[in-house]
Structure 1
């Protein structure tokens, strides 16, 4: 049977979509490259034309998610103040996303080092530059006062990690609410925001 020739970017997208579905359903460890090419209906060489390894396509999935989230944020927050941007930036990370199932499969497979690597890649290339811009805007508007931005961002994410963990483990709502209030207070302190001005609203899912 003659293979249907498609635009390389279309093939690349099909491979990414297939990998995401298989990683989420079978798990990253149990999914082989041959599974991805079979699901997509392409030759193995087509996979390696686009991605040198299975980990490379996983990185691409995470990069696509981060890019989509960043694009949506930039469009929706263009006219907002720095405080409103920061609030929106934080809250969107707690909204349900297709990346959640992939995250679950990596946790189930004890792929913690890989998870950390993937997260750090997106922090460095996508999210930290956006946060730095928000902080600079806040300084111009007089609502934030941060000089050591890179150092402060390390504490910013450490604080959010506590909330991510509470949400992921589905801790009791009262406990989550207490942690949310503490996180808000810590973020206001390290970003030198007026007490009570951040007003985060995050629902557990």
Structure 2
């Protein structure tokens, strides 16, 4: 997967062939198909790996002793960072440049489905603690993905480079924070999106 990711970032997803991947790895093409049904399957596996890593990172520090609202704060920031920085953020930029809208939507839905159990658990804990008042969970999760997706899109100008003005980015994050607080029915100032720096491909 690491080799496939490297090629997707360096020469583009569309331009990368399965033959390029197996040649770089030094294995037979049949070996590739033993593990992956297609190039899309490799991409999905890459995304799944990073999602799993994100959820592990969210829960790694004294999770059971962490206040529910702080758990929500950790999840929101890790979810945002996953898609804005590092390999997944760079992959997103590559796919946007190639107008891979259908594939992007599929991967976004994969992320939503994979992270749903943890976010539901966190919100249920927050509800029990009186920190949130979420009554319609599925609709709330859908709007959560929409708000983060809108922030990611607003953070990337038309040329698909990330917003370079820190004041503009700060204002956009503040807007997203207020929307999330309204969505979760949490006190003002309880959701804070940390400043992150995007890498360039």
TM-score (norm 1): 0.85
Task: Summarize the alignment of residues 35-114 of structure 1 with structure 2, pairs less than 5 Å apart.
Answer: 35-76=20-61, 78=63, 79-92=65-78, 93-94=80-81, 96-114=85-103
Q: How many residues align?
A: 189
Larger radius of gyration between Structure 1 and Structure 2: 1
Q: Which has the higher contact order (CA 8 A, sep 6+)?
A: 2
Deviation at 1:122, TM superposition (A): 1.8
Structure 2 segments unaligned to the other structure (5+ residues): none
Deviations 1:136-167 (A, max 9, x none): 01011110011101101111121122221233
* 1:18 and 2:3 aligned: yes
Q: 1:29 to 1:138 in 2, by over 3 A?
A: same
Are 1:91 and 1:202, in contact at CA under 8 Å, matched by a contact in 2? no
Q: 1:94 to 1:167 in 2, by over 3 A?
A: farther
4+ residue segments displaced more than 6 Å: none
Task: Summarize the alignment of residues 120-199 of structure 1 with structure 2, pairs less than 5 Å apart.
Answer: 120-124=109-113, 126-169=114-157, 170-171=162-163, 172-199=165-192
Structure 1 segments unaligned to the other structure (5+ residues): 1-15
Deviation at 1:198, TM superposition (A): 2.3
TM-score (norm 2): 0.86
RMSD, aligned CA: 1.7
